[in-house]
Amino acid sequence: MQGILDLSPELEPIGVVLAERLLGVQARFDRQLESDLPPVRDLCRHVERYRGKMLRPTLALLCGMAADDRAGVPMGERVGEAHEMVGAVCEMVHMATLVHDDVLDDADVRRRGETVNRLHGNEAAVILGDYLIASAYHLCSRIDSHTALAVARASAVMCAGELLQLHHRDDYSLDEPTYFEIVERKTAALIAVACELGAHHALGSATKDEQRRRETAAAFAAFGRAVGVAFQIQDDVLDLTGEEAVVGKSLHKDLEKGKLTLPVIHHLAAADERTRGRTLRLLESVTQGHATADSVQALARTLKDTRSLDHARTTAERYIATAKAALGTIAPGPARRVLELLADAVVTRDQ
């Protein structure tokens, strides 16, 4: 994963294949968004700068390499055009959610640059997000019906998660089960489907056993779902403790929009009555547009007192352990090892 995962020399061959295939993903992404209209072309070129970790395409490719355990088959031959197309589709859907999230959050910075809504307004940003979704489905139609159905289902689940989160905006009694319901839908669903489809397309060449194909794809989906939840929890922690120049996007937007994240939820449940009251007053001042660096730092200190940041980190690590356990039925090999290393990197990253 770009920027957060360094491979040892024995795993470098996978890194080479991955880099080559990710270039293919980017090329397919760019071609799919080509337009003869200059304003549309310019907006699409701008959103191409949103590429960051390329987590979803990377997982689709790695899961494909790990699922195909045929002896003697080079890594480069275990993944092909279908994987590149799946990677491009998942990245398009993901970028559409980023563009729409920036509108919902009034965000100004994304990938260390100005957001579409900041430069061109909310109307253009909303329609651009829709354009990305439509383009993703168009590309899906060129793969197969299974892929199109899986991506459509994941997209609907993501939207439902977003609606659930909006319903609980400014809900200071939000509990952890509801938070995880939101995260599993809003963030983890697309990561899970990227992993599932990566395995699905590799197994099409590796086996004719339909039951094995379904079970293996389900194992990779479970891996991706757990990694997705851990990824979001780490984002929650970075939103409170990170530096914008390092993280590369506007911070504290969840707080400003009244969206409670895991550290805050845990803190409000664990704090004594006086501390909880003080925290609620601080949160209300932030949601009313009075957020300052001092107020956010004060909140971070308060969260440390109830070990809420530690709770979030420990929870993320537990999800990573669950993700690795999901790979228990997958044959050991270098691709599986890289998946495990990538999972670890999800909760140690600072961006």
Nearest to 165 by CA among 147, 143, 187, 144: 187
pLDDT digits (tens, 9 = 90+) for 199-237: 999 987 666 677 888 899 999 999 999 999 999 999 999
The C-alpha angle 25, 219, 350, rounded to 5 degrees, equals 55
- Helix (H, G, I), strand (E, B), or coil: what is residue 142? coil
Per-residue CA distances from 68 to 78, 88, 204 (Å): 6, 21, 9
Judged against a pLDDT cut of 80, whether residue 124 lies above it is answered with yes
Least confident of 39-43, 239-243, 316-320: 239-243
Contact between 91 and 135 under an 8 Å Cβ cutoff? The reply is: no
pLDDT of residue 87: 97
Contact between 333 and 66 under an 8 Å Cβ cutoff? The reply is: yes
- Cα R_g (the chain), whole angstroms: 20
- Helix (H, G, I), strand (E, B), or coil: what is residue 107? coil
Binning pLDDT at 50, 70 and 90, where does residue 276 land? very high
Judged against a pLDDT cut of 70, whether residue 86 lies above it is answered with yes
Place of tokens 């070990």: 307
Entry pTM:
0.92
Average pLDDT, the chain: 89
Helix and strand counts by DSSP (H, E) for the chain: 17, 2
pLDDT digits (tens, 9 = 90+) for 279-301: 998 888 877 766 667 777 788 88
Distance, CA of 105 to CA of 99 (rounded, Å)? 10
Binning pLDDT at 50, 70 and 90, where does residue 1 land? low
The full set of domains in the chain, from first to last, is: 11-346 (1.10.600.10)
Q: State both tokens at 222.
A: 């479970």
pLDDT of residue 260: 93
